[in-house]
Structure 1
Amino acid sequence: MKKPNVFIRGIYSTALTKLFIDAGYPIIFPSKEIQTRFKIPFRPIDSYSKDISIRDRLDKQGVSIMFKKSVWNKLEENNFEDFPLWQTHNPNLIVYNARFQKNSIYRGLIIKSNRQNNFSYIRLAPEDIDKDGFEEESSYSTTIGNYSHFIPDAKEGIFQVTHEDSGVINPSLGSFFTIPGDLVVIVPYNDRVIISKEIINGRKKKWLFDLGKDIQRTKKYGFIFRTAAALASEKEILEEVDKLEEDLIQTQNTITKYPEKIGEIFSNYHSINVIFPRQIKNSFDDVRRQMLPTMESHHIIKANPKINQYKRFYKTKDDKPSFEKKIQENEIKFTPSDLLTFTENLMYGLDKRANEKICRNYLKQYYNDFLKPRKILNILHQKLNGKTIKLAPGSIHSIEYESGRPHLIVLKRKLREGGLYDGLNTPIEMGDYAIGKYTIGNWYYMSTYYSKKNEIKGRYYNINTPIELSHQGIRYIDLEIDVVENMIGERKIIDQEYLDKTLNLNIISQELYDKAFGVAENILEGRI
């Protein structure tokens, strides 16, 4: 049986392309670099369909995957037995099934609209009702969508999901819905014919524009011709237009038939988000290294947001210095990702020993740029509900190295007065601080809480995916369950019920659950 086509873009594209090719999936519309690396065609014969589309998440910590609904249903029937990005094949993956699928159309209830900040919150589905008849807010999902415009004097509206939800992270919404296909997008609310900017052949552009105008003699809506349309025949385009028109009519009929229905009107896709912890990123390094020179921690460095580049304004165009002069004066700041790409390009054609030396020197400089005593380091605490919390940063107290790599980082963090320490029922007082010990690659870290008189008030063992380190700080995914230790050394496990919940929701696998619980038990018994 022919497997569905997979479209891949983003920082993980080389590793993912190899994984899917090895699993027998055809790759459709690869970038020129991927075509060259894998010696694959631009598309399978007689196919334009992006059955599965994989792109980076906005935070680069994983991928957003959109399936055609029929493809998703077929994979689900087969328990995803040969789908590479599934927990049965890699139990360390963290998966969020979207409640509101990308490109789906909803009628939503406007619950808040802010003119000053130009945004609105839209209720897309009713909240769950508890046993007492009250709305129950979920800790791991949402019913709200974000619309980036103020909506005056309206109670409800029709919206299309432009970016799916992920845990409690709300989906993004747009208005004036479209009906997307592989070759054409129907735009019901205008009569324009738009050609993809990726189509640069003048004759093709004119042919598609004329075809669009011909279709509009009988179809009273606009079109966007996608890049793949330049490869298709007129017959193939017209057949897809007819199919999309059926979906449009179904959507319009549902809107008319159920004028007060809040919820989904039309959906042809299924969306998931897959998060890659440190060990997954490192395994992708190994896969990529089979194809081309790849630095240690390649995907960890690439997965972090770019720093702001230097900006400067000049009175006249003639005052603007040359690119070379800007570099000499240190006025152009290259991101760590830029320098990584440049360094890896130097490694082509060199022997293993030379590459190891380049790698060693690059990483030494990379870590030296942000790992210095008393320098502030961020702590990015990603929750299993989808949120990433930036904890109070710490001042670097000490660094231990192993084989030339940072191994243990000790941070001193000032704590804000008020409230209680989690699980300890001990107040956080003025002058309290924490000493955190973060071992890179470890499944937990320990924070010791001190009073301003340097007296120990307790310890907290945070259970998490293996700790990773980058120029953005320390990052991990919190696995909910933790261990606390009071002032007299008594330990107990807390928050296991939240770990249980994520297992029941299939956010984590049974294997990852067992690993987290096993680490907690070992800490409780003093074995680690």
Structure 2
Amino acid sequence: MNVRCRGIYTTALTRRFLDADHDVVAASDPIRERFDADFGADPHDVTIETTDDRQGVGVTGDPDAVAGVVDNLDLTRDTFVWPAPAARDAVFDARVTETLGSGAVCDLGDATGFLPFGNVDAHVEVGDDVRVQVTDPAPPWADRRPVLDGAIRVRAGPATLVRGDSGITVDTYDDEAGRELAGMTDLLGIEPPDGWGLVWAAAATEADMGSLETALDRAVDRAERLEATLDSTVDPPRRLAAPAATTWVWFGREARFALDADRRAVTTTMPGHHRVKAASDEASRAVDLVEALGTAGGDDDFPFEAVTDVFGPVAGDSVRLDHGKPDGRRIVLGRAEVVDRDPDGTLTLRREMTAGGTYDALGVSREAGDVAITKVREGRWWYPTVYRDADGERKGTYVNVCTPVECFPDAVRYVDLHVDVVKGPAGEVRRVDDDELDDAVDAGLVSEDLAEKARTVASSLEGAL
């Protein structure tokens, strides 16, 4: 199948796809320089794009093709894969449930979406029924909803058909190239369905006639199939059509280092390349400079101390505790102040707790003046939090078992693996939530290999406490 890839993981993933006999198309100039391969301009079956927060990738395209590509991305036991309930280009009959300053929240059935007021012609208010299409899906760990549009489009590589439009448009600043492409389109002998306009992407100006014909033919076929479903009455909430599938892949720390190895087989790659690039845009540019200068280093040790000295977090910084769940959700446990960093790379985090309720599994009341001291170390499969009252007396210790911790400049991130170990105020040690881990395995959210690692870590912690 044809795969188009963009973002910080592209070199490593390109190597994986070529090894799996997939065709990588529309490759960027750096990729063309790094590989001795023929990168065509044919329309892609699947596109892979790094998420905005650089934590993973979104895979969108033909449903069968997406499933095949994802098999090449399930790298390690701390890689998680989640199909999107609201895939890119999916069409829904939705009901407006809330209006905000810039748009409306819509019930899609299995998900909610956000419809900017500028994306729909008519005025909408709570209770209205609207037909919408997903233009920008959102990963499950993101703090946003999929973006919706009232216009219906069909995409096939560089060709997009827009329902309700007419004629041919070329999305390029090169007017001459645009006019030439519009003229060439007539020679293809393929007419869009009535009531659909054609928009060519800028990349189409460099494609050959065969690629243009394939793209337009696919777009027309998809538009005709979709058109057959659009005459029905709007009946929310329901998914009316899903011409493409979107799957989200979240990479853990082990996965990022596995991708380093793939990239290193192609070009100069510093230890921790993808781990650093996932931290911030500034850190990503620094990696590019280090590797361009040929100072990437020849050992396998990730320079955690040097990276955190430059980009953080360091003492005095504030970080989020991003507590991921195996179903893809992200729960922010709050912000913590970095109060210390030990020579081994352990960060000491301090949070002031609010009163109300009890601490999970400890059965101890949460009171005003309580403080939580958490110690996290890059790459460790667990971290402890000690709760103390206003007088400094220990109220209990909670040890969270998770995927290897990553200490980014703005957040400490991991995926919780359910099973935990607690030590109560009287010193009693208990292991909790094994049943939740078992349920996650049965549901296919956690692999048996990962679950066994979590159980082993929990057993070791029981003995240590």
TM-score between both structures, scaled by the size of structure 1: 0.77
TM-score between both structures, scaled by the size of structure 2: 0.87
Question: Aligned match of 1:401 in 339, 343, 349?
Answer: 343
Determine the C-alpha separation between the residues in 1 that align with 2:408 and 2:141. Answer: 26
The structure-2 alpha-carbon separation of the partners of 1:9 and 1:427, relative to structure 1 and needing over 3 Å to count, comes to same
The CA deviation at 1:239 is 6.3
The CA deviation at 1:165 is 4.9
User: Equivalent residue of 1:507, what SS?
Assistant: coil
Determine if contact 2:130/2:234 at 8 Å carries over to the other structure: no
Determine the C-alpha separation between the residues in 2 that align with 1:8 and 1:410. Answer: 38
Question: Aligned match of 2:88 in 99, 102, 105?
Answer: 102
The CA deviation at 1:172 is 2.4
The CA deviation at 1:241 is 4.0
Does residue 113 (structure 1) correspond to residue 99 (structure 2)? The answer is yes
The one-letter code sitting in structure 1 at the alignment partner of 2:17 is F
Determine if contact 2:104/2:124 at 8 Å carries over to the other structure: no
- For the aligned residues, what is the CA RMSD? 3.1
Structure 2 match to 1:130:
none
The one-letter code sitting in structure 1 at the alignment partner of 2:262 is V
The structure-2 alpha-carbon separation of the partners of 1:283 and 1:259, relative to structure 1 and needing over 3 Å to count, comes to closer
The CA deviation at 1:106 is 1.5
User: Equivalent residue of 2:106, what SS?
Assistant: strand
Structure 2 match to 1:19:
16
Does residue 445 (structure 1) correspond to residue 445 (structure 2)? The answer is no
Matches within 5 A, 1:406-417: 406=345, 408-417=346-355
Question: Aligned match of 1:124 in 83, 105, 108?
Answer: 108
Structure 2 match to 1:280:
255
Question: Aligned match of 1:66 in 60, 65, 71?
Answer: 60
Determine the C-alpha separation between the residues in 2 that align with 1:337 and 1:242. Answer: 39
Task: Identify which range, 13-22 or 501-510, moves more after superposition.
Answer: 501-510
Task: Identify which range, 177-186 or 293-302, moves more after superposition.
Answer: 293-302
Structure 1 match to 2:293:
346
Does residue 267 (structure 1) correspond to residue 205 (structure 2)? The answer is no
Does residue 383 (structure 1) correspond to residue 325 (structure 2)? The answer is yes
Structure 1 match to 2:131:
158
The structure-2 alpha-carbon separation of the partners of 1:498 and 1:411, relative to structure 1 and needing over 3 Å to count, comes to same
The one-letter code sitting in structure 1 at the alignment partner of 2:292 is N
Q: Which consecutive aligned stretches of 4+ in structure 1 deviate over 6 angstroms post-superposition?
A: 213-218
Determine the C-alpha separation between the residues in 2 that align with 1:304 and 1:103. Answer: 30
The structure-2 alpha-carbon separation of the partners of 1:29 and 1:513, relative to structure 1 and needing over 3 Å to count, comes to same
The CA deviation at 1:301 is 2.0
Structure 2 match to 1:205:
178
User: Equivalent residue of 2:254, what SS?
Assistant: helix
Matches within 5 A, 1:134-283: 142-149=110-117, 151-153=123-125, 155-167=128-140, 170-191=145-166, 193-197=168-172, 200=174, 203-211=176-184, 219-232=194-207, 237=212, 240-241=215-216, 243-260=218-235, 262-283=237-258
Determine the C-alpha separation between the residues in 2 that align with 1:236 and 1:294. Answer: 34
User: Equivalent residue of 1:347, what SS?
Assistant: coil
The CA deviation at 1:50 is 1.0
Task: Identify which range, 184-193 or 146-155, moves more after superposition.
Answer: 146-155
Deviations, residues 264-301 of structure 1 (Å, cap 9, x unaligned): 22222221111101111122223222333322322122
The CA deviation at 1:16 is 1.0
Identity %: 24
- Give 5+ residue unaligned stretches, structure 1: 126-141, 307-334
User: Equivalent residue of 1:466, what SS?
Assistant: coil
Determine if contact 1:123/1:144 at 8 Å carries over to the other structure: yes
Deviations, residues 467-511 of structure 1 (Å, cap 9, x unaligned): 112322422222233222211122223334443443344333221
The CA deviation at 1:25 is 1.8
The one-letter code sitting in structure 2 at the alignment partner of 1:97 is P
Structure 1 match to 2:27:
30
Question: Aligned match of 2:272 in 292, 297, 303?
Answer: 297
Deviations, residues 414-440 of structure 1 (Å, cap 9, x unaligned): 222222111122111121112212122
The CA deviation at 1:180 is 1.0
Determine if contact 2:382/2:400 at 8 Å carries over to the other structure: yes
Determine the C-alpha separation between the residues in 2 that align with 1:420 and 1:206. Answer: 68
Determine if contact 1:188/1:221 at 8 Å carries over to the other structure: yes
The CA deviation at 1:182 is 2.4
The structure-2 alpha-carbon separation of the partners of 1:244 and 1:412, relative to structure 1 and needing over 3 Å to count, comes to closer
The CA deviation at 1:7 is 1.1
The CA deviation at 1:236 is 6.1
Determine if contact 2:192/2:198 at 8 Å carries over to the other structure: no
User: Equivalent residue of 1:255, what SS?
Assistant: coil
The one-letter code sitting in structure 2 at the alignment partner of 1:251 is L
User: Equivalent residue of 1:257, what SS?
Assistant: coil
The structure-2 alpha-carbon separation of the partners of 1:302 and 1:161, relative to structure 1 and needing over 3 Å to count, comes to same
Determine the C-alpha separation between the residues in 1 that align with 2:178 and 2:413. Answer: 47
Determine the C-alpha separation between the residues in 1 that align with 2:19 and 2:256. Answer: 18
Structure 2 match to 1:55:
49
Task: Identify which range, 8-17 or 376-385, moves more after superposition.
Answer: 376-385
The CA deviation at 1:26 is 1.8
Deviations, residues 295-345 of structure 1 (Å, cap 9, x unaligned): 232212211344xxxxxxxxxxxxxxxxxxxxxxxxxxxx23222322221
Determine if contact 1:412/1:434 at 8 Å carries over to the other structure: yes
Deviations, residues 232-275 of structure 1 (Å, cap 9, x unaligned): 56576456545533433433332223443632222222211111
The CA deviation at 1:455 is 0.9
The one-letter code sitting in structure 1 at the alignment partner of 2:80 is I
- Give 5+ residue unaligned stretches, structure 2: none
Larger of the two Rg values belongs to structure: 1
Structure 2 match to 1:7:
4
Structure 1 match to 2:414:
476
